Amino acid sequence: MAKQQRKTPKPSFPAGASLDEVAHSLLGELVGELRRATRQVRTSRDPEDLHHLRVSVRRLRVALRTFKSRLDESTVSALNRDLRWLFRRLGAVREYDVLLSELSAAQGEEDGALTALREELVGRRKVAERAARRALTSRRHARLRRALVALPRALAGERAPAPKSVRKWARKRLDKRRARVLALRAGLSEGDEQSLHALRKELKKLRYAADLLSPLWRRGGVKAYLRPLSDLQDLLGTLNDAAVSSRLLDAAGKSAGRAAARLAEQRVSELSETGKPARRRVERRLRRFAKAAPFWS
């Protein structure tokens, strides 16, 4: 199920801004984005708002990894644990939304098996959404909110020497993330779902880190580089959605009766077949990605 990500205005930095000034600005912006998304979810039943909150959590987690050398280690560790917990609660809802969207678009006449399967999945999705919304009113989330408010002030400052060149510092981190993606791509083999999943996660980290740090470069090449990177991430996400949907279908089918179980098995087989051409497109796009010159070079 395609999702339209909401755009957040890019911050700008004055010439000669220090690393801590850049980190303070970006972390403050992302914390604000997360708080706004949380408020929206609390007043809305739109599934898209839950997804937007999930994306906000992911962006902040990438920022924490990017600036971890400027933050207290215990602060980063505690925040990562709580953000990962929230991300998983929100992700469980999206997984059912993706699958239900696929089923609603399925061709063919409605029958008892399909109805039973959908009802089972809708029920499981409601359970997942209740768990996600409970998480947003929990004590753990309240603790997370307090920690996030204090985050931009938790920078190392004079306790740790900052690099003189922010661009040079950013370039090293982006180069390292790109190298990880290329290494995983080199070791990717046909049918290796575990390596494909690892590649997807590293590509996602590169894309979000590059987007996060892109205001340091005032060049037109930023969008030209990020657009195909985003397309590749979406394609890998589609493959991952198919794998997750297969697992959810199998579990729901077993609970919804024999006819529903047979239908679920058929849909799992169809998902497997549609994934094959997607894998070929992934390889073609990975080759183009490997040849593309990064905007930070």
165 C-beta neighbours (distance < 10 Å), count: 10
| Nearest Cα residue to 237 out of 200, 288, 289 | 200
pLDDT tens per residue across span 215-229? 888 766 888 888 888
What are the phi and psi torsion angles at 106 (to 5°)?
-65, 140
Q: pTM of the prediction?
A: 0.86
Residue 155 φ then ψ, to 5°: -70, 150
Question: pLDDT value at position 4?
Answer: 47
**DSSP code of residue 294:** P
135-187 pLDDT per residue, tens: 999 999 999 999 998 887 777 554 566 778 899 999 999 999 999 999 988 88
- Superfamily for domain range 163-297: CHAD domain (1.40.20.10)
What does the pLDDT read at residue 10? 64
pLDDT of residue 16: 77
pLDDT of residue 266: 82
pLDDT in tens, the chain (297 residues): 444 445 555 666 766 788 888 998 899 999 999 999 999 999 998 999 999 999 999 999 999 999 988 888 888 899 999 999 999 999 999 999 998 888 776 555 457 888 888 899 999 999 999 999 999 999 999 999 999 988 877 775 545 667 788 999 999 999 999 999 999 888 876 656 788 888 989 999 999 999 999 988 876 688 888 888 888 888 888 888 888 888 888 888 888 888 888 888 887 777 776 667 777 888 888 888 888 889 998
18-159 sits in which CATH class? mainly alpha
Q: What is the pLDDT at residue 257?
A: 82
The rounded distance, in Å, linking the Cα atoms of 90 and 109 is 32
**268 beta partners:** none
| Residues 60, 30 contacting (CB under 8 angstroms) | yes
Surface-to-core class of residue 215, CB atoms within 10 Å of its CB (0-12 exposed, 13-18 middle, 19+ buried): middle
Where in the chain are all domains bearing CATH 1.40.20.10? Answer: 18-159, 163-297
CA end-to-end span of the chain, whole Å? Answer: 34
> Cα(240)–Cα(201) distance, rounded to whole angstroms?
10
